[in-house]
C-alpha cells in the first residue's frame, strides 16, 4: 500500500470537511437570524405611512411550515449539529 498517497487523500478529505463545516456554520447562523427576524413582531416606524397588512392566506401543509401549533418552540436550527471540532488523523 502507498501510505503517502493514503495520507494525502485523508488530508484532502479533512480539508474538505473543514471547509464544509465552515459553510454549514454560516448557514446555521443565517437560519438562526431568519428565525429571530420572523419570530419577533414587526416594528412599525412612525415615519412610514401605515399600510394595511394583506389578509393571511392559508398555507400549504408541508410538515415543516405547519403553523397549527404556534406554542411548539422547535425551530429548524434545533436539528442542526455543530461539526466544528478538529479531527486529527491517527498514525
Closest by CA to 31, choosing from 72, 56, 64, is: 64
Residue 49: the pLDDT is: 59
- Residues 6 or more apart whose CB falls under 8 angstroms from that of 10 comprise 89
Q: Look at the block and give the residue holding cell 485523508.
A: 10
**C-alpha separations of 32 from 10, 40, 43, 68, 73 in Å:** 32, 12, 19, 21, 13
Closest by CA to 77, choosing from 34, 30, 20, 32, is: 32
Residue 32: the pLDDT is: 94
More confident residue, 76 or 10: 10
Is pLDDT of 28 > 60? yes
The answer to whether the predicted template modeling score (pTM) of the entire model surpasses 0.75 is no
Q: 36-57, pLDDT tens digit by residue?
A: 988 866 665 665 556 666 665 5
Amino acid at each position: 500500500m502507498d501510505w503517502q498517497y493514503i495520507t494525502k487523500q485523508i488530508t484532502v478529505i479533512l480539508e474538505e470537511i473543514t471547509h464544509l463545516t465552515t459553510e454549514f456554520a454560516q448557514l446555521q447562523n443565517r437560519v438562526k437570524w431568519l428565525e429571530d427576524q420572523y419570530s419577533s413582531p414587526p416594528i412599525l416606524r412612525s415615519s412610514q405611512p401605515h399600510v394595511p397588512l394583506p389578509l393571511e392566506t392559508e398555507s400549504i401543509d408541508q410538515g415543516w411550515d405547519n403553523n397549527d401549533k404556534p406554542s411548539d418552540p422547535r425551530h429548524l436550527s434545533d436539528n442542526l449539529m455543530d461539526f466544528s471540532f478538529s479531527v486529527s488523523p491517527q498514525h
